[in-house]
Amino acid sequence: MGKRITQNLRTIKLKILKFCLSFLFLATLALMAFHSYFVNRIWIPSTVHPRIVGPLYPYLIEEPLQCRGEAPFLVLLIPSMPQDVLVRDALRKTWANESLIPGISIKRIFLLGRSFVNDIEISVEQESSTFHDIVQQDFLDTYHNLTVKTLMGIEWVSRLCPRASYVMKVDADMFFNPWFLVRRILQPEKPLKLEFFTGLIITIGMPFRNRGSKWYIPYATYPKFFYPYYCSGTGYVFSGDLSPRIYKEAMGLTLFPFEDVFVGICLERMGVQISKPGGKWFSQERAEYNRCQFTKLVTDHHYSPDELLKLWPDFLKALDDCT
């Protein structure tokens, strides 16, 4: 009898515990839904200079004649640090070579901020006078100014290269396959895609609330639980018609330290839907070089200049052998 009473009490306790856990779970879901609804209704990022659509900072190097004549099919915007002259040199010899694809006009632009070291600035000026592929504004080149750097490139395209068909923002530490991008995705033989934006889509991005994190974002800056869909900043491509629209939208917002998320916020406010790639064409992780597999992707991450220079001749052969 005593055992039965004890067993019944245990059963009742379990039921009460399950009820409490279920109630807590449902209450949490309700709170998240209310928070999302509330924030979406009232949270509008504060504006900064909403009527200014010119450059954020004065240009130190502008290259206003880069897009004179024939409109480029593709502009490559490549963020780079002032001191990384060897990286830029390796890219010019590999995937940023403007003459890689016969019949396709490509322009490369390295995006730089200012160095606090005078000798580096002198070196950048000399490099620019040789290659005319550097654009630089008067802001300090730091990680947290990457949004400023990317917007500099978008503003430059909007104003000085407005007839460009497509723009590819790609980091300097990437393996990039322009043939696959042009032939498989952009397809120059077909009508121009408008309001087009694609890359590696991040669908569940959450702000880091830990103050010690490199990616820390306080609630005051961004109060939502999730970021909107955005493309990894390692590499994304968009149609040229979006350049002035993204920049104009950005000028009505407080700048966000993570450029890929910030561009995603702009796209969401513009009502532009990101196009889902047809395959695993963009990567923000490193995969070991595979000559035939790499002919069927756009980007792969964490490739040093020395690695690119070493594998590039074999990759050029793979374009014929594997396709």
Coil, strand, or helix at residue 37? helix
> How many domains does the chain divide into?
1
Does residue 300 form part of some domain?
A: yes
What pLDDT does 126 receive? 98
Asked if residue 114 is part of any domain, the answer here is yes
Residue 160 maps to a domain: yes
Structure tokens at 296: 């069927």
In a domain, 276, yes or no: yes
Nearest to 273 by CA among 195, 169, 187: 195
- Quick one: what percent of the chain has pLDDT higher than 90? 76
Q: Is residue 28 part of a domain?
A: no
Which residues, in sequence order, are CB contacts of 86 under 8 Å at separation 6+? 305
> Could you tell me which of 165, 134, 152 has the C-alpha nearest to residue 70?
165
222 φ, ψ (degrees, to nearest 5) = -150, 105
Phi/psi at 169 (5° precision): -95, 120
Task: Establish if 137 belongs to a structural domain.
Answer: yes
Please give the Cα distance from 147 to 262 (Å, whole number).
Answer: 7
Distances (CA, A) of 123 to 85, 86, 282, 286: 9, 12, 33, 31
Residue 1 lies in a domain: no
Structure token digits, residue 191: 């009508």
Q: What are the pLDDT digits (tens) for 1-44?
A: 444 545 554 555 555 555 555 555 555 444 444 333 333 333 33
Per-residue pLDDT, 211:
81
pTM (2 d.p.):
0.85
CA distance 235 to 198: 9
Judge whether 170 and 150 are in contact, CB under 8 Å. Answer: no
- Indicate the SS3 state at residue 269: helix
Parallel, antiparallel, or unpaired for β 166-170 and 230-239? antiparallel
d(CA 297, CA 95): 13
Task: Write the pLDDT tens digit of every residue in 179-225.
Answer: 999 999 999 999 999 999 999 999 999 998 888 888 888 888 888 99
Q: For residue 172, which of 286, 313, 258, 301 has the smallest C-alpha distance? A: 301
The residue segments making up the domain with residue 181 are 59-321
- Between the alpha carbon of residue 165 and those of residues 191, 237, 261, the distances in Å are 10, 11, 24
**Tens-digit pLDDT profile for residues 278-318:** 999 999 999 999 999 999 999 999 999 999 999 999 999 99
CATH of the domain at 159: 3.90.550.50
CA–CA separation, 152 and 125 (whole Å): 18
263 neighbors 150 (Cβ within 8 angstroms): yes
Minimum mean pLDDT range among 15-24, 78-87, 126-135, 261-270: 15-24
Is 26 inside any structural domain? no
Count the alpha carbons within 13 Å of 322 in the hemisphere toward its beta carbon: 16
